[in-house]
Amino acid sequence: MSNQEYVKEITNIEENFAQWYTDIVLKAELADYTETKGFIAIKPYGYAIWENIRNYTDEKFKKSGVKNVYFPVLIPESLLNKEKDHVKGFAPEVAWVTQGGEEELEEKLCVRPTSETMFSTLYAKWLKSWRDLPLVYNQWCSVLRWEKETRPFLRSREFLWQEGHTIHETAKEAEERTMQMLEIYADVIENLLAIPVLRGIKTESEKFAGAEATYTVETLMHDGRALQAGTSHYFGQNFTKPFHITFQNREGKEEYAYQTSWGISTRLIGAVIMAHGDNRGLKLPPRVAPIQAVIVPVAMHKEGVKEKAQEIYNQLQENFRMEIDVRDNVSPGYKFNDWEMKGVPVRIEIGPRDIQEGKCIMVRRDNQEKIEVPLANLKEKLAEVLETIHQSMFQECEKRVAQKTTIATNMQEFEKNLNENQGYIKAMWCGDAACEEKIKNATGAKSRCIPFKEEHISDTCVCCGKPAKHMVVWGRQY
């Protein structure tokens, strides 16, 4: 047999998860490495997943009153320095431009790591009265952060994201917007990507630099590591005061506005890979999959097979994202493996006998189930199966979260649970950042969040034994 008869194998998911992940990224043709160290090229199939995420999210944004804008990629150093906590948080990751053409710049410009400062300076310029509020703006763009260790989609030096920045008349309105955007993220991750989320607030040491409060949607991957999937920040007046973002209030007095920011990124592609993939490759939830079903004609050389497959494709493509595989240089077995590697939710097989009997074989990517479907009912059945696959994939993730969530009341239990069944650990915390640091240094686990729904596990901190203030979910992270 020729080398083309088989799709190249991938590393076993249980033996080397990190290598398995890299294999999927490359062999499912999502992205590739470039000559610029730490920077990836997103290939058409990977970018199509991002487009589906972006389009779904953008529609939700617009329905909630968000307007899209685009701001400069370069930010003057003096602007970045205006909010001290913010610049301290980002300084180690900033890339600087010091020369334009052959001339040295009078002031260094940083390549956008995030745009709070740029939005703030323009909001200060544009805002006059309470009648101008709220300003609810978002930009879809790329940002640059000089990460020491990179991994495609999870930690690239340049990545695609959206960053929303809003200013409001009252603290209440800003806080409501912060929570509204978190719920939109939860919707995107659960209803588009079929990944359950844990909602909560970050601890003081884990919140965004310059925020009053950071809210998060956390997800758990196949190997039991946590992935921060999206964050929404309430800034209060931490940026509006140094940037002098003021307005004339309803009483005619000058007042500082209240601010928020929120973002998700191409990291969500990494989440989809790691939450759903298996030893056959990528496994895509139907709602986000660039190709929802692929038709693979079998025995294409037989009369009428290719034509019938094309006819079915033409019928289905109006309602579904479809592909037809009429390659004549590889076997049907190779094609089956290839589309499984790419995670296409449904494969439709049709051959001469199927055509005679007026049916086809539908194969589910998520569980390999084969379903015989009359051609007359194919459209309805495909819609039903795609919906079933989404629900099934979500439930599979839910089951994993339940299996990989444990409780610890002391450090011995904490370490044992983490090493034997890596995942979320629920444990009480005294509120002292020193205990957070001790836990991280001892186990590699960070506080993921204080869940909105806290449970009472014990009266004492898991680390120091002092009276507990909160129940925290902990875990090792990506």
pTM for the model stands at 0.95
Residue 87, pLDDT score: 62
- pLDDT tens for each residue of 454-463: 999 999 999 9
What domains can be seen in the chain, in order of their start residue? 17-276 (3.30.930.10), 293-400 (3.40.50.800), 405-475 (3.30.110.30)
Q: Give the contacts of 303 (CB within 8 A, at least 6 positions apart).
A: none
Residue 6, pLDDT score: 46
User: Averaged in consecutive runs of 10 residues, what is the pLDDT profile of the chain (478 residues)?
Assistant: 54 96 97 96 98 98 98 93 68 91 96 93 97 98 92 95 98 98 98 98 94 97 98 96 96 98 98 97 98 95 92 97 95 94 98 95 97 97 98 98 98 97 98 97 97 96 97 97
Residue 7, pLDDT score: 55
